[in-house]
Structure 1
Amino acid sequence: MSIKTRRKGRFFRSLAIGAVLVPLASLAGCSDDKPAIPPDAPGVSRSEEYSFGSATHAQDWQATRKILDQLEGRFGEKSVRVLSRNLASTTDPQAIKAYYAERLAHQAGWAEIPVSTFADRAWAFAFVSPQGDWVLAVEALNASEGAAGIVPLNILTNLDDDKGSRQ
């Protein structure tokens, strides 16, 4: 076999290997994409304006601030955004937690982290990505703190977009 033939063979083998490895490498690169915020849970809705009075707003902000302080201590100051929602006061907090846990489980490796809430007036939970880079927390006032069948609920996250929250 001539040297020319061997070089051509090596060249085409390299091309074939590259044709297989390049798509695999690009797929591996895609796996590091920032996870999406799951769609809003059942019982959670959006409102054009804040639906609560000043007393409820003050309690809501205290509860949110308590969770925000804990998350910013771990993920960096001003890195966590607050997305305001309304929650039907008849919705069970455990159902909300199970919903987000199930959605994040599809993104592999998310784990719950402890967060302490604002006295007995609110509840909260948080999940962190496997590498510890991303967080999704949910905080809401107890049903007894709301009016007109709804209570304020806040999603606290450092994910960039809110595309996944639209249904």
Structure 2
Amino acid sequence: MSNKIRRMGRFFRVLKIGILAVPLLGLAACSGEQVVMPPDAPGVSRSEEYSFGSATQAQDWQATKKVLDQLEGRFGEKSVRILARNLDSTTNPQSIKAYYAERLVHQAGWAEMPVSPFADSAWAFAFVSPSGKRVLAVEALNPSEGAGGIVPLNILTNLDEDKGSNG
């Protein structure tokens, strides 16, 4: 009888440890997902209104839609929002990619995800979180497609915005 009681006591100790350990492991696994939207890259600015004509707007939407369709296919329909920005047309797209790679890949362990831009009039790149649940993609028209020294740039993401950031 005492062996049976000892085995049951050991069973309940292991059960208690498991009950406490599972939520802690879950919290540790989710801790990498706390990345918020990084501040805008150098050369990227916000505008109160859309600064481009209808022809550029149509090209911009086609390019954005091409990337959006790829992201929604993986992350779910209506899960990704579009943040419209302006890009200084003299800014090198590789510097924009390097800026986000530093914040997401090097600091948070994200990986690059292949995306196809729209024809030759745009460029795009994307990064996905280690769990595969979060994404940040950037799409912009080539400098020759813009006017006034700026081109449309769109950030497509399901990340939360950093409410403390003013950039």
Fold equivalence (TM over 0.5): yes
| Equivalent AA in structure 1 for residue 155 of structure 2 | I
Question: Equivalent residue for 1:39?
Answer: 39
| Equivalent AA in structure 2 for residue 153 of structure 1 | L
In structure 2, the CA distance between the partners of 1:76 and 1:165, relative to structure 1 (3 Å rule), is farther
| Equivalent AA in structure 1 for residue 137 of structure 2 | A
Given that 1:43 and 1:87 are in contact with CA atoms closer than 8 Å, whether structure 2 keeps it comes out as yes
Q: Does 2:53 align with 1:78?
A: no
| Equivalent AA in structure 2 for residue 145 of structure 1 | E
Counting aligned pairs with the same residue, the percent is 80
Given that 2:37 and 2:160 are in contact with CA atoms closer than 8 Å, whether structure 1 keeps it comes out as no
Given that 1:39 and 1:164 are in contact with CA atoms closer than 8 Å, whether structure 2 keeps it comes out as no
Given that 2:140 and 2:153 are in contact with CA atoms closer than 8 Å, whether structure 1 keeps it comes out as yes
Report the Cα offset of residue 33 of structure 1: 4.6
In structure 2, the CA distance between the partners of 1:68 and 1:123, relative to structure 1 (3 Å rule), is same
Report the Cα offset of residue 154 of structure 1: 0.2
Separation in 2 of the partners of 1:34 and 1:139?
Answer: 24
Question: Equivalent residue for 1:110?
Answer: 110
Q: Does 2:136 align with 1:141?
A: no
Report the Cα offset of residue 76 of structure 1: 0.1
In structure 2, the CA distance between the partners of 1:91 and 1:126, relative to structure 1 (3 Å rule), is same
Separation in 1 of the partners of 2:92 and 2:30?
Answer: 36
Report the Cα offset of residue 165 of structure 1: 6.0
Q: Secondary structure at the match of 1:37?
A: coil
Alignment of 1:6-85 (within 5 A): 25=24, 28=28, 31-85=31-85
In structure 2, the CA distance between the partners of 1:121 and 1:37, relative to structure 1 (3 Å rule), is same
Report the Cα offset of residue 149 of structure 1: 0.1
TM-score normalised by structure 1 residue count: 0.80
Separation in 1 of the partners of 2:123 and 2:159?
Answer: 22
Question: Equivalent residue for 2:160?
Answer: 160
Separation in 1 of the partners of 2:84 and 2:53?
Answer: 15
TM-score normalised by structure 2 residue count: 0.80
Separation in 1 of the partners of 2:28 and 2:129?
Answer: 17
Question: Equivalent residue for 1:98?
Answer: 98
Q: Secondary structure at the match of 1:97?
A: helix
| Equivalent AA in structure 2 for residue 46 of structure 1 | R
> What is the alpha-carbon root mean square deviation over aligned residues?
2.1
Separation in 2 of the partners of 1:127 and 1:159?
Answer: 11
Question: Which runs of no fewer than 5 residues in structure 2 stay unpaired?
Answer: 1-19
Given that 1:44 and 1:85 are in contact with CA atoms closer than 8 Å, whether structure 2 keeps it comes out as yes
Given that 1:37 and 1:164 are in contact with CA atoms closer than 8 Å, whether structure 2 keeps it comes out as no
